[in-house]
Amino acid sequence: MNYHIILERAEEIRTAIDDKDLSRATRRILDFLSDFQISPNLTAQAIKLRSDYNAYAILEKSEATETKRQELILRTLKLGELIEDELIRTIKLKGRYDDDPIDTLEELKEAYFQENPFEQTVEDKNVVFKGVGVSKTFQTSNFFFELPTLDLELRIGEITGIVGENGNGKTTLLRIIAGALQADGGELSYPYFGVKPHNIDWYFVKQRIAFITQELKPWQGLLKENLHFSASIHGIRGEENEEEVEFILHRLGLSRYEEATWNEISSGYKLRFALAKALVWHPSLLIIDEPLANLDINTQQIFLQDLRYLANSAKHPLAIIISSQHLHEVESIADNIIFIKNGEALYNGKMEDFGKNRTENIFEFTTPSTRELLETALSQLQEYQLEDNGQVLILRTPLEVSSTEILQLLCNHSIVVNYFRDISSSTLKLFRDDVYA
């Protein structure tokens, strides 16, 4: 067992509790106990706490009193302390630090990290899907479409984002990976499943892949019944089925809708249900097509944060690939990015590597000030280029010019800035450029 990961996750829970972030704390406590299963009693307490928090979160402001919130904070704090105590006890029972006066998480981390300074904190990332030279063409008398030839790997624990404008092949690529559409060219394999190129057993592969399409299909019956059915057809039955459904209902905040039908829940909760239905049987690859379109900003953030947590699960890690036009939001959680524009993959690689070889910085902003005032404020820069694309202003500067310096110049000249973003290392710049350099 990798104690580095366990201890770091325990500290993450402590941070969420200290920040009084009940949403994140209750979710991460459930994730922690599901992954490491240090105590069935604590798991039951965590499910009840999460259930009570979900009920509190939907109360009207007049009913969601500070007293109720403080009660939840206190319960979360106490449960966090019990988890830390049980974690220390469990590690000591395994023969570590029997004679050491270790009573706190901080003392345990210090002792363990000193003893194991070079232990890997991240497990090997296995390749679930590998595509080499993947291509697809659609052609009729009035229509022609060609997916740019792509190489890609989807690894356990990683999130890959496909971003770009509509009509550039994002959904086509996802359908090929899911086995719902045959590629015209290239070589596909699923190494994590032991499936090599040629003569792929698609039934076997599809049993290990969850695909949430953009248009969600209506379902019959009650929400909870559908979750039980989804788990059972993947071999999860009996008491395990009950436990998995109960966990995912509370984890994704669906417990109050467990007796609801399709027509009784909003589009946002329908998506949340689709995610629950996909995750209740623990797939190895999760494919999601344009999930953010019908979500408000707050729900988007929680949804994406959950995807990051779920990909990094210690017990059931998975590879995730998600398509979206919400570049900034997807970039915040993605390990890899594929940017498709005008039939070409302008970028296909690690998110952290994007923009490393750039020759300039690019900022975009909006302001009610005139072009003349802006030119006066920016005149102190030795070199710059200011463009107006109709929606935002694009400012290009040498690499040594920082966002702080730009904002300071604008502030010094009393220029009101309504929106500002440094897109130098964001794929958003590819929407602004005809060619990526």
**Residue closest to 212 by CA, chosen among 293, 289, 318:** 289
pLDDT of residue 99: 56
How far is residue 73's CA from residue 106's CA, in Å, rounded to a whole number? 21
Residues 217 and 345 in one domain: yes
Please count the other Cβ atoms lying within 10 Å of the Cβ belonging to residue 177: 26
CA–chain centroid gap for 355, Å, is 22
| Neighbour-count burial of 229, counting CB atoms closer than 10 A to its CB (0-12 exposed, 13-18 middle, 19+ buried) | middle
CB 149 within 8 A of CB 125: no
How far is residue 170's CA from residue 323's CA, in Å, rounded to a whole number? 6
Give strand pairing partners of 155. 127
Please count the other Cβ atoms lying within 10 Å of the Cβ belonging to residue 330: 25
Domain interval for residue 84:
3-115
pLDDT of residue 436: 35
How far is residue 353's CA from residue 356's CA, in Å, rounded to a whole number? 6
Residues 64 and 195 in one domain: no
**Residue 122 is assigned to a structural domain of this protein:** no
Domain final position from 353, 371, 400: 353
Domain final position from 115, 138, 166: 115
**Residue 278 is assigned to a structural domain of this protein:** yes
**Residue closest to 284 by CA, chosen among 311, 309, 245, 306:** 311
Residues 310 and 246 in one domain: yes
Please count the other Cβ atoms lying within 10 Å of the Cβ belonging to residue 281: 21
CATH number where 426 lies: 3.30.70.100
CB 340 within 8 A of CB 62: no
List the helix and strand counts (H, then E) for the chain: 15, 13
pLDDT of residue 122: 45
Q: Which tokens in the block code for residue 268?
A: 């946002």
CA–chain centroid gap for 367, Å, is 32
Please count the other Cβ atoms lying within 10 Å of the Cβ belonging to residue 290: 20
Residues 193 and 339 in one domain: yes
pLDDT of residue 165: 78
3-state secondary structure labels for all residues of 139-154: ECCCCEEEEEEEEEEE
Place of tokens 């592969």: 205
Map residue 165 onto helix, strand or coil.
coil
CB 5 within 8 A of CB 314: yes
| Alpha helices per DSSP H over 312-402 | 327-331, 371-378
Residues 391 and 340 in one domain: no
Q: How far is CA 83 from CA 6, 22, 79, 244, 385, in A?
A: 11, 16, 6, 21, 55
- Catalogue the long-range contacts made by 297-302 (C-beta closer than 8 Å, 24 or more residues apart): 299/268, 300/326, 300/329, 301/329, 302/23
Residues 257 and 330 in one domain: yes
CATH number where 225 lies: 3.40.50.300
How far is residue 404's CA from residue 88's CA, in Å, rounded to a whole number? 44
**Residue 193 is assigned to a structural domain of this protein:** yes
**Residue 120 is assigned to a structural domain of this protein:** no
Within a 13 Å sphere around the CA of 276, how many CA atoms are in the beta-carbon half?
Answer: 27
**Residue 74 is assigned to a structural domain of this protein:** yes
Map residue 89 onto helix, strand or coil.
helix
Whether the predicted model's global pTM rises above the 0.85 cut = yes
Residues 298 and 423 in one domain: no
pLDDT of residue 1: 53
Residues 156 and 283 in one domain: yes
Q: Which tokens in the block code for residue 48?
A: 């009840």
**Residue 437 is assigned to a structural domain of this protein:** no
How far is residue 296's CA from residue 94's CA, in Å, rounded to a whole number? 46
How far is residue 328's CA from residue 3's CA, in Å, rounded to a whole number? 33
CB 300 within 8 A of CB 292: yes
**Residue 237 is assigned to a structural domain of this protein:** yes
pLDDT of residue 131: 96
How far is residue 150's CA from residue 135's CA, in Å, rounded to a whole number? 7
Residues 191 and 61 in one domain: no
Q: Which tokens in the block code for residue 275?
A: 């995610």
Give strand pairing partners of 340. 164, 345
Residues 137 and 10 in one domain: no
pLDDT of residue 435: 37
Domain final position from 66, 95, 115: 115
Count of domains forming the chain:
3
Residues 108 and 176 in one domain: no
**Residue 327 is assigned to a structural domain of this protein:** yes
Residues 82 and 190 in one domain: no
In tens digits, the chain (437 residues) has pLDDT values of 567 788 888 889 999 999 999 999 999 999 999 998 888 899 999 999 999 999 999 998 889 999 999 999 999 999 999 998 888 777 765 555 555 556 666 766 666 666 665 454 444 569 999 999 999 998 887 888 889 899 999 999 999 999 987 778 899 999 999 999 999 999 999 999 999 898 899 999 999 999 999 999 999 999 999 999 999 999 999 999 999 999 999 999 999 999 999 999 999 999 999 999 999 999 999 999 999 987 888 889 999 999 999 999 989 999 999 999 888 899 999 999 999 988 789 999 999 999 888 999 999 999 999 999 999 999 999 899 999 988 899 999 999 999 999 999 999 999 999 999 999 999 888 876 653 33
